[in-house]
Amino acid sequence: MDLFSFLEAVAPPKIRKTSPISSTPPTNPVSPGHHLQNLKEWPDIRNKVHQLLDPLLQQKSSQKTQSNAFRTIANRFNHEAQRWSSCGNKSDVLRLGAHVYERPSVRILYELFSIDSDFGHHKGAIVIGDPDRVFYTYTYTYTGKSYERSRTKFLIQWEPPWTFSTPQNLIHHFNDNRADLDDKVVKLVHQIYGYMTFNNLTYGGFCNYEALYLFRRTRDNGLEVSPPFLYSDPGTRGPVAALMYICKQAVEEHQSFNSFPITHTFILDDLDIEGSWDENLTVPWKDMALRLSGTGRKNIATVMSGEIQPREDVKFRYSSPAFFKVYDITKPYNLDFAHKEISAYNRLHSLQGKYIPRLYAAGSTWKALKILVIEDCGQTACDENMTEELWSQARKAIVAIHRHGAIHGDIRIENFVIAKGTIEVIDLGMCRQGTPAEQGAELAELDRMRKSWEAEHTSDPQ
């Protein structure tokens, strides 16, 4: 089966709404300030897609797969597409979109361009914020027995068509209503632009299943958007061709804000906490740049290491290493988690620097991210770097939290960090007031973890 026949075979079905229709909670508005004044048309995007794919329409799957991969996917496509085309919520639409748009796109990338890639959930990638889907590539080791996932190269937001109908003209709607931060289109464009900017990405996308829009960030902090690629458009005019094209561009282009190593720079617009890494030093936080680098980790929030530095032309000359915990507060539940963690640091203020890290500052940027600036507290604990002494220190730290009438709420070895022979407790987002019974259960869990470690690492466990 050649590419032309494959694109015809994977034509997306019409989405069918089930009853009752459920909707996701509305997102909080983003405020990019002066960073995005107008949305402009991406003028040549359709021609670029045709220029790439039209010469390849008669090309078949790569011979190295030892089978016709296009035909294999096409043979299974309609049955699964029809089965999943009945949707009642955003999760259903995401599942259908993954099958009819993402899967064919990554297969074309592999078969025709030898690009091994995939789409996935934001928790599986190091990405700032919580975009619905992220695109990445795989790099295999020399032995071919393992692979590494690249950083996020492209991201896409989704909405069901019944909560976000395709605008008559997205550009005009945004430019005419951009002062209304609660407008659905304005809110969506700001959110996508924020995700792209925060992650130093050139490209982003939005799909409501019935239409796919592609976004391109320009070097003057501007944003361009494509015409809609409609699900009913055939072949190289449809969403699969457009999605494949933009992913290939994201992989192959090496622009300045899309190259390694990546440093993400943020300024706190609104501050909840203004502290310092030195009790004799008053830090002008609104004049400080937070420079996040390193690989980090992702769960509810993204955690990355980096440095606090004064902005250019600021007389303040001090800087400090730090860890940064970044919550995507466009999602209301993340805002709740962030506030709970800040409250826990305030409640346990006397323990900072001894049993828990010091919270230097906390605030938001663009009203989209809540950032906790935390003391650089060393290495994450694990079985290999724990000792009997450190286990004893860990218990003292939990007991100290209990003396304040609280429980940590998430006792795991990776929620301890080690620096210079001492241990501290981190991740206070689940910390809350606790009963004596809950405190006892928490200590029992820590003791169980220690005994398990001793059984593996000592010849005579106590």
Q: Which of 166, 154, 151, 148 is nearest to 245 (CA)?
A: 154
Q: Which of 194, 242, 245 is nearest to 221 (CA)?
A: 194
Are 41 and 155 in the same domain? yes
Identify the burial level of 237 via C-beta atoms within 10 angstroms of its C-beta, where 0-12 means exposed, 13-18 middle and 19 or more buried.
middle
Q: Which of 308, 383, 369, 361 is nearest to 334 (CA)?
A: 369
Q: What is the pLDDT of residue 258?
A: 41
| End-of-domain residue from the set 375, 408, 438 | 375
Q: Is residue 312 domain-resident?
A: yes
Are 182 and 305 in the same domain? no
Q: 3-state class of 382 per DSSP?
A: coil
Are 128 and 82 in the same domain? yes
| End-of-domain residue from the set 230, 258, 286 | 258
Give CA–CA dist 33/220, Å, rounded: 15
Q: What is the pLDDT of residue 459?
A: 61
Residue type, 155: L
Residue type, 268: L
pLDDT mean values, one per 10 residues, the chain (462 residues): 94 86 76 85 96 94 66 90 93 96 96 94 83 90 66 94 94 95 95 94 96 93 95 96 97 57 85 96 96 79 93 93 96 94 97 97 96 94 96 98 98 94 95 97 98 84 49
Pair type for strands 288-298 and 264-266: antiparallel
Q: Is residue 191 domain-resident?
A: yes
Domain extent for 204: 3-258
SS (H, E, C) 103-149: HHHHHHHHHHHCCCEEEECHHHCCCCCCCCEEEEEEEECCCCCCEEE
Q: What is the pLDDT of residue 350?
A: 97
Are 250 and 274 in the same domain? no
Number of domains making up the chain: 3
Tokens representing 452 are 């398990």
Q: What is the pLDDT of residue 412?
A: 96
Q: What is the DSSP string of 160-184?
A: -TTTSPPPS-HHHHHHHHTT-TTSH
CB atoms < 10 A from the CB of 305, how many? 15
Listed as own residue / partner, the contacts of 256-263 with beta carbons closer than 8 Å and 24 or more positions apart are 257/200, 257/201, 257/202, 257/217, 258/153, 258/200, 258/201, 258/202, 261/293, 262/151, 262/200, 262/293, 263/291, 263/292, 263/293, 263/306
Q: Is residue 245 domain-resident?
A: yes
Are 173 and 50 in the same domain? yes
Cβ atoms of residues 240 and 105 within 8 Å: yes
Q: How far is CA 240 from CA 61, 97, 247, 345, 391, in A?
A: 16, 10, 11, 47, 53
Which residues 6+ apart lie within 8 Å of 328 measured at CB? 128, 129, 130, 301, 334, 368, 369
Tokens 């004049």 belong to residue: 287
In angstroms and rounded to an integer, the radius of gyration of the C-alpha atoms of the chain is: 25
Are 91 and 229 in the same domain? yes
Cβ atoms of residues 201 and 262 within 8 Å: no
Q: What is the pLDDT of residue 26?
A: 77
Q: What is the pLDDT of residue 457?
A: 86
Query: Can you give the CATH number for the domain in which 331 is found?
Result: 3.30.200.20
Q: Is residue 462 domain-resident?
A: no
Q: Is residue 158 domain-resident?
A: yes
Give CA–CA dist 390/268, Å, rounded: 35
Query: Can you give the CATH number for the domain in which 433 is found?
Result: 1.10.510.10
Q: How far is CA 171 from CA 39, 40, 160, 210, in A?
A: 6, 7, 20, 18
Are 41 and 150 in the same domain? yes
Are 69 and 177 in the same domain? yes
Cβ atoms of residues 356 and 377 within 8 Å: no
Q: Is residue 441 domain-resident?
A: yes
Tokens 């993402």 belong to residue: 102
Cis peptide before 261 (omega within 30 of 0): yes
Give CA–CA dist 92/97, Å, rounded: 9
Give CA–CA dist 119/237, Å, rounded: 21
Are 87 and 231 in the same domain? yes
Pair type for strands 432-433 and 320-328: unpaired
Run of H or E residues at 459: none
CB atoms < 10 A from the CB of 371, how many? 25
| End-of-domain residue from the set 349, 375, 401 | 375
Q: What is the pLDDT of residue 220?
A: 74
Which residues 6+ apart lie within 8 Å of 117 measured at CB? 106, 109, 110, 135, 136, 137, 138, 247, 251
Q: What is the pLDDT of residue 64?
A: 54
Which residues 6+ apart lie within 8 Å of 47 measured at CB? none
Are 335 and 279 in the same domain? yes
Q: What is the pLDDT of residue 256?
A: 37
Are 332 and 203 in the same domain? no
Tokens representing 95 are 């599942």
Are 23 and 130 in the same domain? yes
Give CA–CA dist 390/424, Å, rounded: 10
Q: What is the pLDDT of residue 447?
A: 98
